[in-house]
Every structure is written in structure tokens, then in C-alpha cells.
Amino acid sequence: MWASGFHGFNYFDDVRILDYVPFNTPLFWDSFENGLGHWTVFNGTPGTDDAHAFSGTLSYATDEDRDAIQTTFRPAVTGKVAVIRFYDDASDTSLTPHAFVDNGVNVVAIGVNSAVSATHYVYRIGATTAVSSVARSTGWHTFALDYR
């Protein structure tokens, strides 16, 4: 799931589910060039935007409170690595965008939570949120959620 909890724009692109790192042929890939057809709206009115794109011309943009999309794999995809490209405007300290993976046991997330740290990326495993040692910076970043 990709979600945002505060006003402002956040962008996600090139979502991949992989067997392992380094990158191999993905089991799932979406660059949002064809819209949000692989996704279910979880909350808000999500859409794509051409202001920032990692590859191609579009990215998924969270542009309102609580925008969120999700996809469910049947059968369940477990023991993989989810790789997400995330555009961060580090000057905006009101954001809370996260990429989530739920393996059925623990929710794992990575992103921005300005209430926890306006200057560093945060991660969540289960109910525990922690501040990473990686400082926020403006531009595209690659987040990898390894739930093997």
C-alpha cells in the first residue's frame, strides 16, 4: 500500500516485487504509465501526475489527505523484496507518505513521518516505528522492503 496522511504532493514510481536483490526479473512491476488499473483505492481519490516521474511520464501522486492504493496478490506473494521509487520534497515537513508491505504477520513500512522526524526517513515493523540514520533529501530514492 502507498499512502499519504497530510497535504502536499508525494510521488511513487516503478513498483516491483522481486525474488531477491540484486534486481532480477520482477514478479510484479508497475510504472503507472497505464493508470492505476493494477490497484484498488483504499482511501481518497488517488491519481497519476506528470510533474515528477522516475521513468516514463507518469507517477502515482498522493495529493490529498489520506490518499492510498493497494494491491493484493492471489496466491499470496511471501518471502520477497518490494522495491519502490519515491520522490521526496524534503523541504515539506508536513508529510507522512509510506510504502507498506503486509506479509500476514507484520506490517513493514518505510517513508516519511514528519511528526516522528522531519529530517530523516522512518521505518515501521509491526507496531514499532523508528527513525533511520538516512537523512531526507529532495529527489528520487529507492526504498526496498525485504520481507524474506
pLDDT digits (tens, 9 = 90+) for 134-143: 999 999 998 8
- pLDDT at residue 129 in the model: 92
Is the pTM higher than 0.85? The answer reads no
What whole-number distance in Å separates Cα of residue 73 and Cα of residue 82? 13
Over range 96-108, report the average pLDDT.
Answer: 81
- Strands 47-49 and 28-30 turn out to be unpaired
pLDDT digits over 36-78, tens only? 888 888 888 888 888 888 888 988 888 776 788 888 876 677 7
Cβ-in-10-Å burial (0-12, 13-18, 19+) of 30 comes to buried
24, exposed or middle or buried, with CB in 10 Å at 0-12, 13-18, 19+?
exposed
Q: Determine the distance from the C-alpha atom of residue 11 to the mean position of all C-alpha atoms in its chain, rounded to a whole number.
A: 8
Judged by phi (left if over 0) then psi (alpha if -120 to 50, else beta), residue 49 lies in: beta
CA 142 to chain centre: 9
CA-based nearest residue to 144, from 82, 53, 92, 85: 82
Higher pLDDT, 14 or 75: 75
Q: How many residues does the chain have?
A: 148
pLDDT value at position 68? 84
pLDDT for 6 equals: 41
Q: What is the pLDDT of residue 132?
A: 94
DSSP 5: -
